[in-house]
Structure 1
Amino acid sequence: MSMILINGYFLCRRLTGIERYAYEITLRLDKIISSGEISIIIPSDFKNIPPYKNLTIIKYKKKIPHILWQMVTLQFFLLTHRQYTILEFGNTCLPLAPGIVFLHDIYCEFFPEDFVSFRDKVIRLYNRWQYRLIAKRAKKIGTVSYFSKNQIAQTYHITPERITVIYSSWNHFLSVKADYSVFDTYPVLLENEFYFSLGSLSKRKNIRWIIEYAVKNPDSYFAVSGTSLPTTQIENLDNNAGLKNILLLGYLDDAKVKALMEKCKAFILPSYYEGFGLTPVEALSCGAQVIVARAASLPEIFGNTAHYIDPFDTDVDLNVLLKEPVESPEEILKKYSYDEAAKQVYKLIKEVLR
């Protein structure tokens, strides 16, 4: 009898977008399945396992780099345990043991100019191979927006019926208590009305938009947090010496991020490519106004609850933009639920097992 095995390597990684999605849905899936119905495989030396009650935990080998775990360790396990069908949350498909795969977006197909260094080009090549492998071999494909579903179907010429849209959510923020000590560390944020942005130095996150806007509008203040961002002033970035109205905060935990979202003038996501766009949804749940790019999935996800900017044009007055009326986020917040997402994943699992 075939059984589902979740690739639990996401537990070994920092909880950013894809890992957060996998973590939260797996927690809720554990609550709605019967004991022993689904298994999760985790490196044997990983200690911080969530308190699963019904998922069967399989500890196997020690943690090794992600690509080796995928292509060697996990591949070998599945070839020697044929009863399992793998459930992958993170854009990866095993060539010899394909299963249910979540493909959140296919960014690497559309912006080759964003991949400049040799390392970046290798990453793009690997990701494009994985995208194609998923499209060709996955038993079922999950994704996080109809924008992504349509792009995947059209790009790889596959039937849309193979792809199921299961949205991400913000519910994890309900259990986060805001940590206002961040304002003790950065008192300048209490002295200025500030716009807040959360992301990384990945080109698609488009921090350049914020830099260019800040250059043109020295009276506007920006705080930017995220992975790969050093805790430093912006003058060390992109040769904009002397630019004092952007503060790079580096990585912050959810509690500090929530405090900043609660107190910011508005949350900004100028990204020109997103499969879903989780952080502005989190900001909406904190009561913040949000400004997002009119690009990719973002109009689908936010509808009339957000203010929109052109991700390639900084000739806009944000103060004027924020005066434009938007709809209450109440319906949007109801729409995106990890509990509902887990039910949809469970339904997808049962379809594959049948």
Structure 2
Amino acid sequence: MRIALNARILQAPRTGIGHYLAELVAALVAEPDLELSLFHGWGWSGDLPAAAMPGYSRLTPWLRRVPGAYQARRWLEQRRFDQGQSQAIDLYHEPSLWPLAFKGPTIITLHDLTHLHYPSTQPAARLKEIERRLGQGVQQARLILTDSQYVADEAQRYFGLSRERFVVAPLGVAARFHPRSIEALQETLKPQGVQPHAYFLCVGTLEPRKNLSLALHAHAQLPEPMRQRFPLLIVGMAGWEHGQFSDELQKALATGLVRLLGYLPDEQVAQLVAGARALVFPSLYEGFGLPVLEAMASGTPVIVTRRSAMPEVAGDAGNYIEPDDVDGLRDAMSRLIDDQAHWLECRDAGLQQAKLFSWGRCAKVTARAYRQAMGG
């Protein structure tokens, strides 16, 4: 069975959906009856790109400013996609938002409905395209993959579709996320001026949905000696309208007790996750929450909000807070510093919870969905 996968998102520096696609493709290789053909926006290949397209980060802001740029790029991609359909494609899988036109069976992955809950997180032109095309894409798809039951349930209600149209394929955790010895962490952590298990970490694109301000306020409420010993590190690329954090973030950065590290290579992120005292992930909405799973697999306790899909991921291993509870987050951070027995319990519970997830399992569920959509 030849499967066409739209891999254009891998032109960009990899964040959530990019990591999903790369790991899924690697795991699908184990399915002997599948042959993958990857569409990269300008052509086709059987291989994943080794890195993002040079200059992509400069191109994206330009697209936001030019009227009709999204539509023009979409038209060109459709032309290129059509040219490759001579490969006798049996099924087309669109892993991100809305599919290109295809006459055969189509499957889409719907990771979340962020554009409904937080439309301000999307540039206006992109939001308009999502609203115009996502409904058509959902109707086009024979089956809709979701990362969590939460997203399957809310999409079923919103689009008025039957439960049978949805297949839940929980994400996995990459091999680079695993517990590491203190000695193995020193090389990465020393340039950041921190010691293993002596800092808090936030991971994610800088955008309002991630609720970074709660982490900043809670950390600021810790006693100063504690903040000196356990600074807050933030890893992630700038998102849409990230500037609204600028004053608050600049004040925190000026203290030297909060450090913005920006977008980092995957291996460096994995080491920072493994070395943290805890991952602080106070997001308002997630279709899954991949950093939570990655932290647990690394032996790092997690502090998360009891919202959207995150309880499905963290299970009993999560330290849960409300998304507006500064005192609750401060207390959770403080306890993970002062109570070593609690820290060890959270570490062990997270390691056990992470074992429930794997990219191999995600690939098997996805492959079964392919066969189902083909009538097998």
Q: TM-score, normalised by structure 2?
A: 0.77
Aligned pairs for 1:323-342 (under 5 A) are 323=339, 326=346, 328-342=349-363
For residues 199 and 51 of structure 1, do their structure 2 counterparts lie closer, same or farther at Cα, with a shift above 3 Å needed?
closer
For residues 26 and 176 of structure 1, do their structure 2 counterparts lie closer, same or farther at Cα, with a shift above 3 Å needed?
farther
- Whether 1:136 and 2:139 are equivalent positions in the alignment is yes
How far off is 1:308 after superposition?
0.8
Q: Residues of 1 paired with 2:92 and 2:73: CA distance?
A: 11
Match of 2:238 in 1: 228
- Whether 1:351 and 2:362 are equivalent positions in the alignment is no
- Whether 1:207 and 2:207 are equivalent positions in the alignment is no
Match of 2:203 in 1: 198
Match of 2:115 in 1: 108
More helix by share: 2
- Whether 1:39 and 2:37 are equivalent positions in the alignment is yes
Q: TM-score, normalised by structure 1?
A: 0.82
Query: Which amino acid letter does the alignment assign opposite residue 207 of structure 1?
Result: L
Match of 1:157 in 2: 160
Q: Residues of 1 paired with 2:214 and 2:113: CA distance?
A: 22
- Alignment length (residue pairs): 333
Match of 2:14 in 1: 15
Supply the RMSD in Å over aligned alpha carbons: 3.4
How far off is 1:334 after superposition?
2.2
Task: Point out which structure has higher relative CO (alpha carbons under 8 A, 6+ apart).
Answer: 2
Query: Which amino acid letter does the alignment assign opposite residue 328 of structure 1?
Result: A
* Residues 227-266 of structure 1: CA deviation (Å, up to 9, x unaligned): 128xxxx986556374432111111122222222222211
Match of 1:246 in 2: 258
How far off is 1:312 after superposition?
1.3
| 1:329 counterpart SS class | helix
Question: 2:3 touches 2:92 (CA, 8 Å); kept in 1?
Answer: yes
* Residues 181-233 of structure 1: CA deviation (Å, up to 9, x unaligned): 3323221x23993111111211111111112213323443211111128xxxx
Q: Residues of 2 paired with 1:205 and 1:43: CA distance?
A: 29
Query: Which amino acid letter does the alignment assign opposite residue 17 of structure 1?
Result: G
| 1:173 counterpart SS class | coil
How far off is 1:12 after superposition?
2.0
| 1:6 counterpart SS class | strand
Unaligned ranges ≥5, structure 1: 53-62
Question: 1:176 touches 1:254 (CA, 8 Å); kept in 2?
Answer: no
Query: Which amino acid letter does the alignment assign opposite residue 107 of structure 2?
Result: I
Q: Residues of 2 paired with 1:70 and 1:346: CA distance?
A: 30
Aligned pairs for 1:85-104 (under 5 A) are 85-95=91-101, 99-104=106-111
Q: Residues of 2 paired with 1:79 and 1:253: CA distance?
A: 34
Unaligned ranges ≥5, structure 2: 51-55, 64-69, 240-244
Question: 1:102 touches 1:142 (CA, 8 Å); kept in 2?
Answer: yes
- Whether 1:168 and 2:166 are equivalent positions in the alignment is no
Match of 2:53 in 1: none
Question: 1:144 touches 1:166 (CA, 8 Å); kept in 2?
Answer: yes
Query: Which amino acid letter does the alignment assign opposite residue 40 of structure 2?
Result: I
Question: Which deviates more from structure 2 when the two are superposed, residues 343-352 or residues 3-12?
Answer: 3-12
